[in-house]
Structure 1
Amino acid sequence: MATTAEDPARSIPVLPSPDIAATRDFYCDELGFGIVGPEMDDYLIVRRGEIESHFWKSDDRKLPEVSSCYIRGGEVPALHAEFSARRVEKLSPFTVRPWNMKEFYVRDPHGNLLKFGCAPEDI
């Protein structure tokens, strides 16, 4: 059994998806995530390094348009450079916001907003 130091508690977003297969394709093919666990029609877990996201099947197509998550850390600048090189659609500029976080955003095909950020002094 893993100790708490090896497996610390963390918060993981669980976002809605009207099409699990399209979500899988976007996160794996466009953003470089890998699938965790069994593939199911109504639930998906993807991970890239320490970044993990879960998706549940939702028939309400408006839910993803009002859902988001925040990913913070030192690897964020490298992610923006990689996503730019991959020509990820709906990728915002990487800029310092009024709240003093350097951030960029990505919208997935269904509208979920992924906000990536780091403190400007961490760059």
Structure 2
Amino acid sequence: MSLPELTQAIPQLPTGDINETADFFESKLGFTVLNKFPDHGHLIVSRGNAEIHFWQAPSKEEAKAIASQSSCYIRVNHIEELFAEFKQSGAPFGYELAEQPWGMKEMQVNEPYGNAIRFGESIG
């Protein structure tokens, strides 16, 4: 008998507008839209090995209320270059690149509905 194996965790975050979120992730963060189903309220974006799913909240207001409490964390290699890329694209930072006491260089981008998308790389 084989033991179960967990292979990937994929965050599922709320959005108030599938198309707006898709445009943001493409233009500001360099993600690719894998699948977009506006009629079914689902969006899948990816960049490298990172994948994020979005579900359509009942309204933009509800999406913002839920998203203000939502986040995901993406581990990165070469975070300084990614930070420079995001700065160039005009991504809205919750906080810019900083060394954290827990041994990570991190930054946070806030997407249009308030989901905190955090990026981090181990120091050293």
TM-score, with structure 2 as normaliser:
0.84
Unaligned runs of 5+ in 1: 1-7
Q: CA deviation at 1:78?
A: 2.1
Write 1 or 2 for the structure with the bigger share of strand: 2
Match of 1:4 in 2: none
Q: Hey, what's the Cα distance between the residues in 2 that align with 1:74 and 1:29? A: 21
Q: Hey, what's the Cα distance between the residues in 1 that align with 2:28 and 2:104? A: 25
Q: 8 Å contact 1:103–1:118 — kept in the other structure? A: yes
Correspondence 1:50-61 to 2 at 5 A:
50-59=49-58, 60-61=62-63
Q: 8 Å contact 1:84–1:91 — kept in the other structure? A: no
Match of 2:37 in 1: 40
Q: 8 Å contact 1:102–1:120 — kept in the other structure? A: yes
* Pick aligned residue for 2:96 from 77, 82, 93: 93
* Pick aligned residue for 1:78 from 77, 81, 84: 81
Cα RMSD, aligned residues only:
1.5
Correspondence 1:12-51 to 2 at 5 A:
12-37=10-35, 39-41=36-38, 42-51=41-50
What amino acid sits opposite 2:7 in the alignment?
A: A
Q: Hey, what's the Cα distance between the residues in 1 that align with 2:78 and 2:52? A: 17
Aligned length: 113
Q: CA deviation at 1:89?
A: 2.0
Q: 8 Å contact 2:98–2:105 — kept in the other structure? A: yes
Q: Hey, what's the Cα distance between the residues in 2 that align with 1:71 and 1:77? A: 14
Q: 8 Å contact 2:22–2:43 — kept in the other structure? A: yes
Match of 1:3 in 2: none
